[in-house]
Amino acid sequence: MIYEHSHIKHHVMQQYEDYLRLFKDKVEREYVQTRFGRTHVLKLGKEDGKPLFIFHGANCLNPMTLSWFEGLFADYKIYAPDTVGHPGFSDERRINPEDDSFALWANDLLDYYGIESCAFAGVSYGGGIVLRLAAFYPEKINCAILVVPAGISPFSKWWTIKKMLLPFTLYQLNDSTKQIEAVADAMSAGEMKTIDREIIATIFQHVKLEHDLPKLTTTQELQRYHSPTMVIAGMQDVFFPENKLFQRAAPLFGDLLEWRAYNMGHFPSRKHIERMNKDMSDFLVRHYHLTD
């Protein structure tokens, strides 16, 4: 169990439902049985559009980071699964982020929907999931968008400790609004939405956090991967700083890489979300939308 109490789980599920009500698009929901447990999937967007799978970040709720892609909903059929073992409606069983487990999980979802290959996007931990798929089933990925991704550069422990350790520790000890505000500001360069702050406050205090990230991807693992890949970094990202991310991403992807860096934190502002959507849309038009 990842929740401190059953009433905490109920509260988190209600926060999830409240977030979905903010979406302008109709959201369909279904459960898919995978080898790692039952997976809750959100489906929305253009009914006859080309499929786009979006994996969310760790220690947050699927709709939070799904909302960052709202500019793509009109053109693509979106599949957004709740990651198993993370807060949400999927089974609470956590799986190994270092082997082929997440690749197999993603492949189970593709098989269920009858999708041979498609475009993928992942935020933070979700970016690491896309990279696990790229390592084991590269033929499944037509192109990829990785937003402030795990799985490329090491987690910046020094920078995170400097910016977040004290307020995070104090928040866990005394549930102080002041301290969670400091944590949220560090994660977002002061731009986190109120509803996101409220969800982060609940999860950080009352849910068993996921500390194990998808393994760092190697060039050897990507020898068979030949798909265009956009990486979006935050210059003020406390977890995966832009300069360290680029140092690893450039040799990892080579000519496949399209690089974007914005002056944002791990969570983007409204302004940066708009810019992201423009860049992501252009990328998909070039490498996916206009292809057979």
Q: How far is CA 78 from the centre of its chain?
A: 14
pLDDT digits (tens, 9 = 90+) for 216-252: 999 999 999 999 999 999 999 999 999 999 999 999 9
CA angle 119, 221, 231 (to 5 degrees): 45
Domain extents for the chain? 6-155+210-289
How confident is the model at residue 177, as a pLDDT? Answer: 67
Report which of residues 109 and 173 the model is more confident about.
109
Report d(CA 4, CA 41) in Å as an integer: 24
> Three-state DSSP class for 207?
strand
Mean pLDDT of the chain: 92
**If we measure between CA atoms, which residue out of 41, 39, 142, 154 comes closest to residue 92?**
39
Per-residue pLDDT at 287 exceeds 60: yes
CA distance 76 to 226: 22
pLDDT of residue 105: 99
Task: Look at residue 251 in the predicted model and tell me its pLDDT.
Answer: 97
Indicate the pLDDT class of residue 1, thresholds 50, 70 and 90: confident
Average pLDDT score over residue span 173-182 = 66
What pLDDT is stored for residue 214 in this prediction? 95
**For domain 6-155+210-289, which architecture applies?**
3-Layer(aba) Sandwich (3.40)
